[in-house]
Amino acid sequence: MNRHHIAARVAGLTQSEIRAMTRACNAVGGINMGQGVCDVPAELLIKEAAKTAIDSDISLYTRFDGEERLRRALAHKFTNYNKVNYNFENEICVTLGASGAFACALTALLNAGDEILMFEPFYGYHWNTAYIAGLNPVPIPLAPPDFAFDVELIRSRITPKTRAILVNTPGNPSGKVFSRAELETIAAICIEFDLLCLTDEVYEYLTFDTEHVSMASLPGMRERTVTMGSYSKTFSITGWRIGYAAASEPLARAIGMVNDLYYNCAPAPLQRAVAVGIETYGPEFYTDLAKTYRKKRDIFCELLTEIGLDPIVPKGAYYVLADNRRLGAANAKDAAMKLLHESGVAAIAGSAFYTGETGEGLLRFCVAKSDEDLARACDQLRNWGNKH
């Protein structure tokens, strides 16, 4: 390979730790609790809706920002669940997952060299996507176990180049759910320093005994916030690639323009199927979903405590960060490899989510597994715990 043929902004990147761990896990036939793939089957209703859409020849490009039925369904969801009104006609753009929403928003709204604040631990894709968009991500440490932030530290990291702050609530990998008061504090900073707020809410329905608050619903924030989400996690359809960005009209227009240029539109029949899902499911579908994941979280956190890999019990999303020191490894990657080889269960090294040392003491497990796989993983880890 001639390195001169690779763009400088990409040459410095390695493919995500998460994918590398998946390969290592497959090589030993292990149980993959590393990748954030929810491997429970998609709902029958949605699958049938997708088949019907294909059979009805919904196979052409939709409007660049998504088919009307899905945009209307999303606007309705925003009003009822997120408590913020977006006009389906010009303030919602259907994208290729929340990942597509983020990439388009960065390209549409920020300039190369701009700084974007990101709470740490962060989702690696956020960090690296910002990097390849030519931005400089700046970490704001969240202190475990409750992942509180220091408002003075945020202020101290703001420079004349700072243009935006990213909020991910509920957060991956921390499971942090930002409280209303915390969001109000961040909102006040955004207003004071005239920052954009990009908010990734893909786990919006997965909170445990805590309300989900959308930044855009706070006073003064709708005009400077881009709300990003998707149905990857909610409907267990990570491979369908249906997500969205919602923002005030000028921002949404710019995001839509980039989405159009890069992708034309999201997959047409799958947009329709997601619209049918949103129209059909009542609130109990989403509360049941949270209950299901809460149960998985509780089972797994109990097991981690039992085997001495102490968990930081998450308030939302479907990941658990755990203390890896009991493995006695030199760093988090070695700890993850050791655990995989000794127990047959794959986790992700905590270092994938931090710029500094903090992540070296952590592992991240994804509990979005079927009950059978989760039980098998618990058995294997319990056996490991008994032997080591």
Q: Are 189 and 220 in contact (CB under 8 A)?
A: no
Q: Facing residues of 245 across strands?
A: 93, 228
Please, what is the minimum distance in Å from the beta carbon of residue 42 to ligand PLP?
Answer: 13
Q: Is the peptide bond before 160 cis (omega within 30 degrees of 0)?
A: no
Please, what is the minimum distance in Å from the beta carbon of residue 200 to ligand PLP?
Answer: 5
Nearer to ligand PLP, 123 or 149 (CB): 123
Please, what is the minimum distance in Å from the beta carbon of residue 319 to ligand PLP?
Answer: 8
Nearer to ligand PLP, 98 or 197 (CB): 98
CB proximity list for 35: less than 8 A, separation 6 or greater: 18, 19, 21, 22, 348, 366
Burial tier of 282 (Cβ tally within 10 Å: 0-12, 13-18, 19+): exposed
Residue 206: in which H helix or E strand, if any?
Answer: none
Backbone angles phi, psi at 230, to 5 degrees: -165, 175
Please, what is the minimum distance in Å from the beta carbon of residue 24 to ligand PLP?
Answer: 19
Q: Facing residues of 228 across strands?
A: 200, 245
In the structure encoding, which two tokens stand for residue 266, read together? 């999201």
Q: Are 134 and 9 in contact (CB under 8 A)?
A: yes
Nearer to ligand PLP, 22 or 343 (CB): 22
DSSP H helical segments within 248-370, as ranges?
Answer: 249-263, 268-280, 283-306, 332-343
Nearer to ligand PLP, 124 or 134 (CB): 124
Please, what is the minimum distance in Å from the beta carbon of residue 23 to ligand PLP?
Answer: 18
Give the whole-angstrom CA distance, residue 198 versus residue 127. Answer: 13
Q: Please list, residue by residue across 43-68, b when 16 or more beta carbons sit within 10 angstroms of its beta carbon and e when fewer do.
A: beebeebbeebeeeebeeebebbbbe
Residue facing ligand PLP at closest CB distance:
97
Nearer to ligand PLP, 166 or 339 (CB): 166
Please, what is the minimum distance in Å from the beta carbon of residue 167 to ligand PLP?
Answer: 11
Backbone angles phi, psi at 95, to 5 degrees: -130, 175
Please, what is the minimum distance in Å from the beta carbon of residue 68 to ligand PLP?
Answer: 21
Angstrom distances, CA of residue 365 to CA of 114, 126, 385: 33, 19, 16
Please, what is the minimum distance in Å from the beta carbon of residue 168 to ligand PLP?
Answer: 5
Nearer to ligand PLP, 105 or 202 (CB): 202
Nearer to ligand PLP, 168 or 343 (CB): 168
Nearer to ligand PLP, 82 or 172 (CB): 172
CB proximity list for 341: less than 8 A, separation 6 or greater: 28
Give the whole-angstrom CA distance, residue 28 versus residue 169. Answer: 34
Nearer to ligand PLP, 207 or 343 (CB): 207
Please, what is the minimum distance in Å from the beta carbon of residue 239 to ligand PLP?
Answer: 9
Nearer to ligand PLP, 62 or 238 (CB): 238
Q: Strand runs (DSSP E) across 121-168, as ranges? A: 136-141, 162-168
- Tell me whether strands 243-246 and 92-95 are parallel, antiparallel or unpaired: antiparallel
Please, what is the minimum distance in Å from the beta carbon of residue 127 to ligand PLP?
Answer: 11
Contacts with ligand PLP by CB under 6 A lie at: 36, 97-99, 123, 168, 172, 200, 202, 230, 232, 238, 243
